[in-house]
């Protein structure tokens, strides 16, 4: 089981699809389009920021806790399902979920009481996870690290109105804070081996040479961990040479 992590617009879903095709494994994608809370959350951020600017220092985002429990429930269900099987890839996992609730609490979008309740719920879920499956953790966590500028370019290309900084200037601070939280999270993560991909350096979506280099980094790591045979890795490298020759 491979899990991916990374900030908004880092390319998690794209790399998940690429890896799924490459390795012949099942992909699990976190639903976004059917999330009724996400647009409300971004609107709530804007409302809370305006209230605080007007002097209401205790103003919170009324949808922050709701959004995080919504995501937590989805991520718990998805990883439980994935852990019942072998050979699968998740474009997002429960392991980075707390980043968002912690940050929203620090920003004043959620209260300390809400954060404490959230942490208790998350801890209970993590305790139950090994009993709900035959795996205790992912075999590999792949995290895609990108800069603020790269993130913005990809967000603009994706075109979700509620994610665009020109529609909500408060997102500038939110995104910078989120980048810092991911830096902290990468240093603290210890649930499984981790491989960091430089999303500024490698355009694995549109550049075939970059894609091949990223795939071989991942496959070499899987060989090192004993999750991919050297024979299969060599077979995939031959396939990559053909792809590059066709470019």
In the prediction, which pLDDT does 96 show? 93
Annotated binding-site residue? 12? yes
Is 2-201 assigned to CATH 3.40.50.10790? no
Annotated binding-site residue? 97? yes
Angle separating helix axes 64-82 and 98-106, nearest 10 degrees:
170
pLDDT by 10-residue block (mean), the chain, 247 residues:
93 95 92 81 84 87 92 91 88 92 89 96 90 80 96 88 85 91 94 96 94 97 96 94 84
Contacts 24+ apart (CB under 8 A), 99-105: 99/178, 99/181, 99/182, 99/185, 100/67, 100/68, 100/71, 100/178, 101/64, 101/65, 101/68, 102/181, 103/177, 103/178, 103/181, 104/61, 104/64, 104/68
E strand or H helix at 6? strand 2-6
Please tell me the distance from the alpha carbon of residue 177 to that of residue 131, in angstroms, as a whole number. 35
- Note whether 191 and 137 are within 8 A (CB): yes
User: Rounded to 5 degrees, what are φ and ψ at 32?
Assistant: -120, -40
Annotated binding-site residue? 197? no
Pairing of strands 140-145, 88-90: unpaired
Structure tokens at 217: 């980094």
The DSSP secondary-structure symbol of 235 reads H
In the prediction, which pLDDT does 169 show? 85
Point out the catalytic residue in the list 21, 91, 187, 200: 91
> Catalytic site residue 173?
no
- Specify which residues 142 forms β-bridges with: 4, 195
**Which residues, including other chains, have CB under 8 Å from residue 242's CB and lie 6 or more apart?**
none
Annotated binding-site residue? 13? yes
- Note whether 88 and 8 are within 8 A (CB): no
- Note whether 107 and 174 are within 8 A (CB): yes
Q: List every span in the chain annotated with CATH 3.40.50.300.
A: 2-201
Please tell me the distance from the alpha carbon of residue 218 to that of residue 212, in angstroms, as a whole number. 10
In the prediction, which pLDDT does 41 show? 87
Annotated binding-site residue? 180? no
User: Rounded to 5 degrees, what are φ and ψ at 198?
Assistant: -80, 100
Annotated binding-site residue? 163? yes
Please tell me the distance from the alpha carbon of residue 15 to that of residue 47, in angstroms, as a whole number. 34
Annotated binding-site residue? 170? no
- Write down the pTM of the prediction: 0.88
In the prediction, which pLDDT does 197 show? 97
Annotated binding-site residue? 156? yes
């Amino acid at each position: 089981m491979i899990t991916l992590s990374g900030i908004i617009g880092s390319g998690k879903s794209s790399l998940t699809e690429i890896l799924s095709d490459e390795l012949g494994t099942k992909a699990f994608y976190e639903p976004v389009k059917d999330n009724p809370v996400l647009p409300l959350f971004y609107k709530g951020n804007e409302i809370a920021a305006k209230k605080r600017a007007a002097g209401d220092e205790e103003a919170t985002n009324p949808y922050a806790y709701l959004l995080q429990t919504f995501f937590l429930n989805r991520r718990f269900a998805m990883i439980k399902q994935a852990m019942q099987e072998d050979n699968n890839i998740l474009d997002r996992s429960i392991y980075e979920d707390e980043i968002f609730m912690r940050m929203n609490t620090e920003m004043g979008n959620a209260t300390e009481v809400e954060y404490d309740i959230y942490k208790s719920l998350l801890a209970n879920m993590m305790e139950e996870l090994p009993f709900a499956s035959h795996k205790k953790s992912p075999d590999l966590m792949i995290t895609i690290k990108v800069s603020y500028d790269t993130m913005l370019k990809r967000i603009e290309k994706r075109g979700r109105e509620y994610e665009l900084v020109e529609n909500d200037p408060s997102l500038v601070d939110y995104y910078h804070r989120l980048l810092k939280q991911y830096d902290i999270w990468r240093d603290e993560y210890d649930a499984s081996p981790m491989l960091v991909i430089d999303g500024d350096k490698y355009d694995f979506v549109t550049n075939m040479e970059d894609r091949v280099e990223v795939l071989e980094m991942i496959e070499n790591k899987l060989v090192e961990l004993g999750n991919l045979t050297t024979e299969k890795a060599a077979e995939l490298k031959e396939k990559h040479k053909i792809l590059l020759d066709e470019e």
